[in-house]
């Protein structure tokens, strides 16, 4: 019953980290095994779904780490020239024309490290301190990788808009 209720949502969370369908399904299966083995550790603080999502995200990160796909980029506190860069402004209507599939497709083109940091910070709500602890990188590297991921994602989506 737990699997049937949450498998779809958990697979979506995993796919944000693991773009390959079969690899994501493998992580999903391993994640549910871990959830069921550790269900007694759920303390009823926060939602059950949130507790399970955290396990699934950690399993996805572990899978990337064991496949040696998480390569650290830079160790600098600087946030690049992202903030000072002159940005083309697209209209809200142009951005609204992008669908969820377009965004997920663009996210899959990010490097595994950029994708992991972006997901942990922007979607899962981790702080840069928590990300640095989780991934074994400095806070500055987390911030830098997040800024680069945003910049790359924005550029990928702009290219998609130009193609439409």
Asked whether the beta carbons of 160 and 102 are under 8 A apart, the reply is yes
Q: Which of 100, 97, 140 is nearest to 123 (CA)?
A: 100
Q: From first to last of its 164 residues, what are the pLDDT tens digits of the chain? A: 999 999 999 999 998 888 888 999 999 999 999 999 999 999 998 899 999 999 999 999 888 888 765 554 443 333 333 333 444 455 566 667 777 788 888 888 999 899 999 999 988 889 999 999 988 899 999 999 999 999 999 899 888 888 87
Report the C-alpha dihedral over residues 96, 87, 102, 137, rounded to 10 degrees: -130
Sequence-ordered list of residues with C-beta below 8 angstroms from that of 67, at least 6 positions apart, any chain = none
Stated pTM of the model = 0.67
Q: What is the DSSP string of 43-112?
A: -SSS-HHHHHHHHHHHHHHHHHHHTT--------S--TTTTTS--PPPPHHHHHT--HHHHHHHHHTS-H
Taking the C-alpha atoms of residue 67 and residue 128, their distance in angstroms, rounded to an integer, is 23
Provide the phi-psi class of 97: left if phi over 0, else alpha when psi is between -120 and 50, else beta: alpha
What pLDDT is stored for residue 129 in this prediction?
95
Q: What domains appear along the chain, each with residue ranges and CATH number? A: 2-66 (1.10.1740.10), 92-163 (1.10.10.10)
């Amino acid at each position: 019953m737990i699997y049937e209720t949450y498998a779809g949502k958990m697979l979506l969370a995993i796919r944000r980290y693991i773009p390959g369908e079969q690899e994501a399904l493998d992580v999903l299966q391993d994640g549910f095994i871990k959830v069921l083995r550790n269900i007694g550790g759920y303390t009823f603080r926060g939602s059950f779904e949130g507790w399970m999502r955290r396990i699934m995200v950690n399993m996805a990160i572990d899978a990337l780490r064991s496949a040696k796909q998480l390569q650290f980029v830079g160790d600098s506190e600087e946030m690049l020239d992202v903030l000072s860069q002159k940005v083309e402004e697209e209209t809200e209507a142009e951005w609204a024309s992008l669908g969820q599939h377009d965004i997920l497709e663009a996210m899959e083109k990010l490097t595994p490290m950029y994708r992991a940091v972006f997901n942990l910070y922007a979607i899962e709500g981790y702080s840069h301190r928590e990300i640095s602890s989780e991934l074994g990188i400095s806070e500055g590297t987390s911030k830098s990788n997040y800024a680069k991921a945003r910049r790359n994602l924005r550029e990928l989506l702009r290219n998609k808009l130009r193609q439409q």
